[in-house]
Amino acid sequence: MNLRVLVTGANGFVGSALCAALANRDYCVRGVVRDPSRSAGLICELTKVGDIGSNTDWSGSLIGVDIVVHLAARVHVMRDSATDPLAEFRRVNVAGTERLALAAATAGVRRFVFLSSVKVNGERGGYNESDPPAPQDAYGISKHEAELGLRVIAAETGMEVVIIRPPLVYGPGVKANFHVLLWAVARGVPLPLGAIHNRRSLVALDNLVDIIVTCIDHPAAANQTFLVSDGEDLSTTELIRHLARAMGRPARLIPVPASVLMAGATLLGKREVAARLCGSLQVDITKARELLGWLPPITMDEGLRRAAEHYLQHQ
Cα separations in angstroms, 289 against 200, 205, 209, 220, 221: 19, 18, 15, 12, 12
Nearest residue to 195 via CA among 254, 260, 124, 270: 254
At 50 the three-state DSSP class reads coil
List phi, psi (to 5°) of 227: -85, 150
- The angle subtended at Cα 132 by Cα 141 and Cα 154, nearest 5°, is 70
139 part of the active site: yes
Cβ 128 vs Cβ 284: under 8 Å: yes
Please state the separation of Cα 207 from the chain's center in Å. Answer: 11
Among residues 180, 160, 182, 208, the alpha carbon closest in space to that of 16 is found at 208
- DSSP secondary structure string, 158-169? --EEEEEE--EE
What b-and-e string marks burial along 281-302, b requiring 16 or more CB atoms within 10 Å of the CB?
Answer: bbbbbebbeeebebebebebeb
Sheet bearing 28-33, strands edge to edge: 45-48, 28-33, 4-8, 67-70, 111-115, 160-165, 225-227
Within 10 A of 243 (CB to CB), how many other CB atoms are there?
A: 24
Q: What is the DSSP letter of 281?
A: E
User: Residues with Cβ < 8 Å from 299, sequence gap 6 or more?
Assistant: 230, 232
Find the catalytic residue in 27, 127, 139, 170.
139
Residue positions annotated with a catalytic role: 139
